[in-house]
Amino acid sequence: MRVAPESLQQASGSLVAVGTRKRGDDDAPGAMEYLTSVLSAKGYDVAMESPLQLAVKLSERLGVSLWIKREDMQPVFSFKLRGAYNMMAKLSQAQLDRGVICSSAGNHAQGVALSAQRLGCDAVIVMPVTTPEIKWRSVERLGATVVLKGDSYEEAQSYAKLRCEQEGRTFVPPFDHPDVISGQGTVGMEIIRQLQGPLHAIFVPVGGGGLIAGIAAYVKRVRPEVKIIGVEPSDANAMALSLCHGQRVMLEHVSGFADGVAVKVVGEETFRLCQELVDGIVLVSREAICASIKEMFEEKRIILEPAGALALAGAEAYCKHYGLKGETVVAIASGANMNFERLRLVTELADVGRKREAVLATFLPEELGGFKKFAELIGRVNITEVRYRDDSGVKYALVLYSVGIYTDDALRAIVARMESSKLKTVNLTDNDLAKDHLRYFIRGRSEIKEEIIFRFIFPERPGPLKKFLDAFSPRGNISLFHYRAPGETGADVLVGVQVPAEDLGEFRSYADNLSYEYTSESNNEIYRLLLHSPEMRCC
Active-site positions? 80, 334
Which residue, among 15, 81, 490, has the nearest Cα to 259 in the 3D structure?
Answer: 490
Q: What angle do CA 149, 152, 156 make, to 5 degrees?
A: 40
Phi/psi zone of residue 338: left (φ > 0), alpha (ψ -120 to 50 degrees), beta? beta
How many Å apart are CA 358 and CA 404, to the nearest integer? 7
How many Å apart are CA 495 and CA 505, to the nearest integer? 17
> Around Cβ 503, how many Cβ atoms within 10 Å?
14
How much of the chain is in helix, strand and coil states, percent to nearest 5?
45, 20, 35
Q: What angle do CA 24, 26, 27 make, to 5 degrees?
A: 90
Kindly tell me the sign of the dihedral angle through the C-alpha atoms of 69, 74, 79, 84.
Answer: negative
Q: How far apart are the first and last CA of the chain?
A: 43
* Residue 257 CA neighbour count, 13 Å, CB half: 27
What is the C-alpha radius of gyration for the chain, rounded to an integer number of angstroms? 25
**Do the beta carbons of residue 480 and residue 444 sit within 8 Å?**
yes
Contacts of 287 (CB under 8 A, 6+ apart): 349, 350, 352, 353
- CA-CA-CA-CA torsion for 489, 494, 497, 499, nearest 10 degrees? 80
How many Å apart are CA 511 and CA 523, to the nearest integer? 18
Stated as kind and residue range, the H or E segment containing 434 is helix 432-436
233 three-state secondary structure: strand
124 three-state secondary structure: strand
How many Å apart are CA 457 and CA 449, to the nearest integer? 25
Kindly tell me the sign of the dihedral angle through the C-alpha atoms of 109, 112, 115, 117.
Answer: negative
How many Å apart are CA 346 and CA 352, to the nearest integer? 10
Residues in the chain: 539
Which residue, among 260, 266, 289, 286, has the nearest Cα to 278 in the 3D structure?
Answer: 266
Contacts of 244 (CB under 8 A, 6+ apart): 8, 16, 17, 20
537 three-state secondary structure: helix
